[in-house]
Amino acid sequence: MSLLSLPGLVLTACNPETPVGPEGSARDTLRVLSFNIRYDNPEDGPDAWPHRKEAVADMIRSQAVDVAGLQEALKRQIDDLEALLPDYAWLGVGREDGMEQGEFAPIFYRRDRLDTLRWGTFWLSETPDIPGSRSWDAALERIATWAVLRDRQTSEAFLAVNTHFDHRGAEARTRSAELIVERLDELATAQSGEQGDEGTGSLPVLLTGDFNVREGSAPYAVLADAFSDALYASEQPHEGPMSTWNGFEAIVPGGRIDYIFVGDGVRVYAHRILPDKTANDRFPSDHLPVLAEIGFGK
């Protein structure tokens, strides 16, 4: 394991250039990231967004990420990342009005590697197609943003989905998991048909998010029944802590609440939770990012 130094970021994870896919096909794999970047809150003091934005961008860039599902991103944070990451495009809407108000669940992706075929957002509510809708015991509006992306290197199309479950409503989290499973099945099947992928049944699915649940919870069980937790699907042993929550202070044991789930037809070659800190010994966010290296096929 090598230690790399980049401006503003001390990297402790594996060298992103190290092949982890099957021999001879490392360049055909995709690096997928789930990262709650913490909303821009001036009261965070030394951990406020202006002090962290370069480190968040460095994390995405240094890990050679192809697809990143971010959570808690406000429009001004997205604007900052867009400027800092010119090689990436992004998709998403604000959860409050379906435009620019409130937090986004944006999907960032490499312009030179992936093309967007279509995308959209639905609300985690009883009326998922109504912008700003909220249901059950949810404290806030919650969304899932999805995109059908095509890999230029392999011509493989897949469905990427990014979400952030409610932090207070237990019923809302379970209902949201059920809605995600239902909607993703519909989307993957419908979009596969539009791609002319007859015989495959549905597109491969990548689901990233801050789910605000731990293993053993009802929402996790719903998701794990429909998809595979990339940590356990990985063909190589997991690297890094078994927690994604640090609160800007210290990694909290048992705090794995951020996940990457994969559907049928997706192989996971490696899975990591990245505990990297900035040069001034601060975390880039109050959550740790989750990284998976994936490929398609059996």
Residue 196 is predicted with a pLDDT of 53
Total domains, the chain: 1
* 3 pLDDT higher than 70: no
Report pLDDT digits (tens) over 129-176: 999 999 999 999 999 999 999 999 999 999 999 999 999 999 999 999
- CA–CA separation, 266 and 229 (whole Å): 11
Instruction: Go through 6-26 and write b for each residue having 16 or more CB atoms within 10 A of its CB, e for each that does not.
Output: eebbbbebbebeeebbeeeee
Look up the domain containing 160 and give its range.
Answer: 4-296
- State which H helix or E strand residue 192 sits in: helix 170-194
Q: Under a CB-based contact definition with an 8 Å cutoff, are residues 269 and 22 in contact?
A: yes
Query: Measured between alpha carbons, how far is residue 129 from residues 39, 114, 230 in Å?
Result: 25, 27, 29
The mean pLDDT value for 68-93 works out to 99
pLDDT at 16 over 80: no
> Is there a contact between 184 and 147 (Cβ–Cβ < 8 Å)?
no
Cβ(239)–Cβ(271) below 8 Å: yes
pLDDT at residue 197 greater than cutoff 60: no
Q: Mean pLDDT in the chain?
A: 91
Is residue 143 within a helix (H) or strand (E), and if so which, with residue range?
Answer: strand 143-151
Nearest C-alpha neighbor of 230 from the set 213, 206, 202: 206
Specify whether the CB–CB gap between 173 and 144 falls below 8 A: no
Of 16-25, 59-68, 141-150, 289-298, which gets the smallest average pLDDT? 16-25
pLDDT at 127 exceeding the cut of 70: yes
Q: Comparing 1-10, 67-76, 248-257, 272-281, which segment has the lowest mean pLDDT?
A: 1-10
State the pLDDT at residue 90: 99
Q: Are 220 and 207 in contact (CB under 8 A)?
A: no
Does residue 25 carry a pLDDT above 70? no
Q: What is the CATH number of the domain that holds 225?
A: 3.60.10.10
| Pairwise pLDDT comparison (17 vs 86), residue with the higher score | 86
